[in-house]
Chains A and B, each alone.
Chain A
Amino acid sequence: MTKAVEQECILEMKNIHKSFGGLKALDGVHLDLRCGEVLGLVGDNAAGKSTLMKILTGFYHADGGSIFLDGKQVHIDSPKVSKRLGIEMVYQNLELCQNMNVTENLFLGREIMRDPVLRFLKRNQMDKKSVEILHKLKIDIEEPRKRVDKLSGGQQQAVAIGKAVSFDPKMLVLDEPTANLALKEIGKVLDIVLQLKEHGIPAVFISHRLDDVFHVCDRILVLRGGRRVTVKKTSETTHDEIVRYMFLGAEEEPQSA
């Protein structure tokens, strides 16, 4: 099902530092994401996972370090720049407009319009494209004009991922996509993540649920107290080992995975 993971790096975050007042949130963290892979980003609360990804998506500015995308150094100082570079993030709290339908959410901010001034919508065309986007990821939503608040939590998460994918991104960041979902819904969301991998879209998968991480990720990067502890190939590690790294920490070893 999964394509062979290629070794070329699409993203590299090198020696990232970030402090909030006296609190050191990130201390020289390194992250690399390879083409076509899903990289698990795990750690206890306050490990620095979200901070690292918020630096990548332009919500925070790093105090030090550099970011390379496709081998070129980039400066991401706002979410807009991050989007322009092809980095899409699916947020933990969904970031969908509950008062709007699936199509309206998928096309929010980049609607297909008949004219640039009055901005009348091509609603049927948008609906057709929505169905295409959702079917491409095998997302089970039949009515593109169904209001999002009428969907289940899993379906909403699926729409959020579909929205991110529809921007044709270079890479995705999925922030706790299975949090607060029923077991059946979690399975569906994980299927969608595997679909992303089939389509060759690399992703960083942040989660507290190690079962989910082991199910979809090719490698797992562990953070603890704002420092990188280790990175392991999923096939070469175990739950217990990752838990040990998450809560007890260990010295970073040379690039093994």
Chain B
Amino acid sequence: MSKMENHVLTVDGLSIAFGGLKAVDDLSFDIRDKEIYGLIGPNGAGKTTVFNCITQFYKPDKGDLRFKGHGDQIVDLTTKPVHDIIRQGLVRTFQNVELIRELSIIDNVLIGGHIDFEANTLSQALKLPKARKEEKKYREEAEKILEDLGILDRKDMLVGGQPYGILKKVEFARTLMARPKLIILDEPAAGLNDSETIDLARLIKRIRDQYDCSILLVEHDMRLVMDVCDRICAINFGKLLAIGTPKEIQANKAVQAAYLGVE
């Protein structure tokens, strides 16, 4: 296992096929510490499959996924079940904003802290002091994050019925509870208008700076990608097209051909 000096994630030869169709074909890239990294490609290029493989929602057929998690421990992600990924320090958001409608905003954020709680079920049931202290501690942390994102005043409101922009922020807050090393954002600009996208760009950069993490941005909106990303990986048909800075990617012939007229 290489040292992964200043890398948080190394993807090496990732491949997965569904019933004979190669969705991802021998893809390799790496993400550095505190880097905002973009993953782009036309519809059906395999972007979603790539990060579903990284987060172990799918088990890849081939490839290494080395992750430098909490305490600088290097982990092979393919050895972990999907519900253990967050424990390593890797969190993802969902394009469809998978929040729990019947719960309040702060309760949804607290789900992000699920793995941090140590008190067992019995002490929760009896509301023993240890359980109560933990609940209080993480509640305060959640409130801090909500305040940071500007939505603390809504903390007790139910998620159902909140505007879309607020929901996206709640999802962000949920991922931040886990103090991740790498956040994978699943098309965060989907459904946002221009000014909201600009706010999102600012938010992404601020989160990277403030919470000391890397961000993998899987996105369609080219302006957002070119604006915030340090480096970009472009794929098509599950294969690597190019890796480079936004300028390099924009100038790349193969990438232009793949998009055919999309800016």
Partners in one complex: no
Q: List chain B positions with a Cβ less than 8 A from chain A.
A: none
Q: List chain A positions with a Cβ less than 8 A from chain B.
A: none
